[in-house]
Amino acid sequence: MSREVSPPLDRRGFLKLSALAGGGLMLAHYLRAAGSARDEIAKPTQERERGGFTPSVFLSIAPDGEVTIFSARPEVGQGIRTSLPMVVAEELGADWRRVKVVPAPLNPAYGQQVAGGSTSTPNSYLPMRRVGAAARTMLIGAAAGGWGVPPGECRAEGGFVHHGASGRSADFGSLAAAAAQLPVPDEKGLVLKDPADFKLLGTRVGGVDNPAIVTGKPLFGIDLVLPEMLYAVYERCPVWGGRVRKANLEHVKSLPGVREAFVVNEASAKVTGLVPGVAIVARSTWEAIRARKQLQVSWEEEPFAESSWEKFAAEAKALFDRGPMEEIRRDGDLDRAFSGAAKVVQADYAHAFISHANLEPQNCTARVQGDRAEFWAPTQNPADGQAAVAAYLGIPPAQLTVHITRIGGGFGRRLHSDFMLEAAAIARRVAAPVKLTWTREDDLRHDHFRPGGFHRLRGAVDAAGRLSAWSGQQAYFDQGLGADTFPGRFVPAYLLRTAKLDNGIPMGPWRAPGSCTHAFVAGSFLDELAHAAGRDPVAFALELFDSRAVVPGTGPKGVPYDAPRMRGVIALAAEKSGWGRPLPRGRGMGLGFYFCHQGYVAEVAEVTVSRGGDLAVERVVAAVDVGSQIVNLSGAEAQVQGAVIDGLSAAWRQELDIQRGRVPQSNFHEYALLRLPAAPKAIDIHFLKTDHPPTGLGEPALPPLAPAVANAVFAATGIRIRQLPFSRTSLAWL
């Protein structure tokens, strides 16, 4: 059986080893972030501190055989605190029942500690395998040396090293001290397991935090309680970019339980992310919220006080009709392709602003004492938060400790650090630890929203029913989440032009940024073109990628697009869904597919639409290609199921209006999320393993859902949905 050999590594950046007090084994591994110029080497210690280990340690083995694996990436519900330790344990040959997973603190020795963009698995999978493989090699070396046998005759499994010929075994704990004296294996001596021999990876493993979650143990930032802690709320201008003129602070300070009330008016240009507002500090969150209801603030609301969705829509239409627009890409002869087309289709699409709607509102607990500070935050990007807060407080980042709590939903929202900066502004004013808690109204109205957008598309098919031309115009709000060139080089003649709509709306990554809306637009319009050509949508899509290999620069941000992988998931989804079987009027199937965050996913939705327009999603079949290895099958299935449900909720129900420079919706009674009765009755998931490095699953399965359901509605009713949410379109049919 073949064995997978690790590629060579720089020895300085490979492994560091030290003997622990008590005879244990500790391994640290520097994880260089992909594309990062940072080269900080982990500095392991030989000390035990109060029964634990200092930061920069990924793996330790105690004399009693217990294996401790430190999880350095923030846990947002994506299951990374379970899956990455599973990778280490698999290569090590540990008994998962004797593995303890401990969240690691923020420390440069761990490399990039970020949760976002489905990057945790692709950036950590191979390095974590190396950590486990190195420890296994050393444990086997220690056992073989003691027994006087060749290491090649030994194997590590279930927390023991076994010598098959003699029948001898030794547990990891008894070997740890001897292993710690051995040299670190170099790249020639480090051999990774053949995936065919995996026993833990690919199985279903429950989340390591599950027992604490279901029993209500304090894990999340909002759970934190410190001695003598005070509680704070923060009132922001309802219009983005506004500032405080005056407020009735003396009255608020006189209210029961209030300890402090003050204005924060630092310019956002000076302190990026800190929004001007009024802070109220009290003995309890309830007393702070109750005092806030009596707060009266006069605001400077310019320059965006007259912004509205209607004005944005009118501006987009004017740009589409008359310009000016920037040309992003042009391929082929569009005039010739359109003039010689058998059919030409034109359509306008739009998608609303929506909120992240985290179940756990933004919160942060902070303690500032002179030139030192300590923060407890549910942040997806703790290092950036540390840097921003340290700059604001005027202290070195090393003097600001950040504890990364478990996160009750992120979806990209907690990549921003505004709530940490607000906590810093409050804590430096109050001589006590302070917990800042956002209300649900704060979360909806002061989110960093998924951008709305407007699209005008024109496409052509030739006499053979092939896609021959595509012209797209996009009016968008956020440049970082703007133009997407799909289907780009898969079309003989292609044009993309864009224009940015001026606004002051705070925006940011929302699960599968950019792809979450572009997939709906492109996937729905491709379905329109397939029907115009009189073609089956699956056959039309497969033909689009026919006889093409990897196409450079066509995926998001110029990432190469692997056409055969997309064909693979489209064909699998069609097969598993029973695509093509006859269905009665009012019932239909639709295809959606997209390449997102290195993952290729196709989904077929089957829906029923009553004559009165009531939509029911009967089934979603997902075909998913995220590489050669599913790490935790339970977690992977949960991520796809969650992406399908989240994608359906966003596409069907979620919408924020913009009126007079503000969001009028306040809470969930005005911002509808998907309820259980409306969820798909069945979600069937099929993983397609391919010979590519494993990637993450937090995002790839979400983008195809919206076009799949919209196209299924058309198949059922003949009604074409061209705007999100679906609730904007009447689905009643005769």
Q: Report the CATH number that the domain containing residue 419 is assigned in CATH.
A: 3.30.365.10
Task: Report the C-alpha gap between 146 and 148 in whole angstroms.
Answer: 6
* Position 733 in a domain: no
**Half-sphere exposure in the Cβ direction for 9 (13 Å, CA):** 23
* Position 442 in a domain: no
Q: Which domain holds residue 246?
A: 221-302+362-437
Cβ atoms of 16 and 169 within 8 Å: the answer is: no
Task: Report the C-alpha gap between 521 and 725 in whole angstroms.
Answer: 12
Residue type (1 letter), 462: D
Alpha carbon dihedral 170, 153, 128, 560, in 10-degree steps, equals -160
Give the model's pLDDT for residue 13.
Answer: 37
Task: Report the C-alpha gap between 551 and 545 in whole angstroms.
Answer: 10
Residues 642, 499 within the same domain: yes
Task: Report the C-alpha gap between 210 and 314 in whole angstroms.
Answer: 49
Name the token pair of 195.
């995936």
Pick from 567, 573, 705: which is nearest to 649 by CA? 705
Last residue of a domain, one of 214, 237, 252: 214
Residues 369, 347 within the same domain: no
Name the token pair of 272.
């990026």
* Position 693 in a domain: yes
Q: Which residues contact 727 (CB under 8 A, 6 or more apart)?
A: 652, 653, 655, 672
Residues 182, 323 within the same domain: no
Pick from 642, 673, 654, 678: which is nearest to 726 by CA? 654
* Position 734 in a domain: no
Instruction: Tell me the sheet residues that pair with 562.
Output: 550
Number of other residues whose CB lies within 10 A of the CB of residue 336:
13
Give the model's pLDDT for residue 7.
Answer: 39
Q: Which residues contact 47 (CB under 8 A, 6 or more apart)?
A: 20, 21, 54
Residues 372, 472 within the same domain: no
> What is the DSSP pairing of strand 191-192 with strand 682-687?
unpaired
The Cα angle at residue 360 between residues 359 and 364, in degrees rounded to 5: 160
Last residue of a domain, one of 183, 198, 214: 214
Task: Report the C-alpha gap between 525 and 391 in whole angstroms.
Answer: 47
Q: Which residues contact 59 (CB under 8 A, 6 or more apart)?
A: 26, 27, 28, 29, 67, 68, 69, 70, 88, 92, 131, 132, 135
Task: Report the C-alpha gap between 86 and 633 in whole angstroms.
Answer: 11
Give me the phi and psi of 371, to 5 degrees please: -95, 20
Residues 566, 522 within the same domain: yes
Last residue of a domain, one of 383, 416, 437: 437
* Position 488 in a domain: yes
Q: Tokens 């309680």 label which residue?
A: 225
Give the model's pLDDT for residue 26.
Answer: 59
Residues 273, 407 within the same domain: yes
Instruction: Tell me the sheet residues that pair with 581.
Output: none
Give the model's pLDDT for residue 270.
Answer: 52
* Position 444 in a domain: no
Cβ atoms of 458 and 344 within 8 Å: the answer is: yes
Residues 368, 483 within the same domain: no
Q: Tokens 């005008």 label which residue?
A: 456
Cβ atoms of 535 and 512 within 8 Å: the answer is: no
Number of other residues whose CB lies within 10 A of the CB of residue 241:
20
Total domains, the chain: 3
Pick from 686, 650, 329, 709: which is nearest to 511 by CA? 650
Name the token pair of 73.
């990436």
* Position 664 in a domain: yes
Helices first, then strands: H and E counts in the chain: 16, 33
Task: Report the C-alpha gap between 191 and 133 in whole angstroms.
Answer: 7
Residues 116, 249 within the same domain: no
pLDDT below 70 — which residues of the chain?
Answer: 1-57, 187, 267-272, 479-482, 547, 556-557
Cβ atoms of 101 and 79 within 8 Å: the answer is: no
Residue type (1 letter), 725: P
What are the C-alpha distances in Å from 707 to residues 524, 703, 710? 5, 8, 5
Give the model's pLDDT for residue 27.
Answer: 59
Residues 195, 147 within the same domain: yes
Q: Could you tell me how far CA 342 lies from the centroid of its own chain?
A: 42
Task: Report the C-alpha gap between 288 and 293 in whole angstroms.
Answer: 9
Strand ranges inside 72-153, DSSP E: 99-103
Exposed/middle/buried for residue 463 (C-beta within 10 Å: 0-12, 13-18, 19+) = exposed
- pTM (2 d.p.): 0.92
Cβ atoms of 653 and 647 within 8 Å: the answer is: no
Give the model's pLDDT for residue 664.
Answer: 95
Cβ atoms of 386 and 54 within 8 Å: the answer is: no
Residues 530, 419 within the same domain: no
Residues 207, 317 within the same domain: no
Pick from 716, 732, 460: which is nearest to 590 by CA? 716
Q: Which residues contact 422 (CB under 8 A, 6 or more apart)?
A: 234, 264, 274, 275, 277, 279, 364, 436
* Position 165 in a domain: yes
Q: Which residues contact 36 (CB under 8 A, 6 or more apart)?
A: 111, 112
Instruction: Tell me the sheet residues that pair with 469.
Output: 460, 493
What are the C-alpha distances in Å from 153 to residues 2, 187, 558, 686? 16, 20, 48, 38
Cβ atoms of 407 and 414 within 8 Å: the answer is: yes
Residues 374, 341 within the same domain: no
Name the token pair of 442.
């704060």
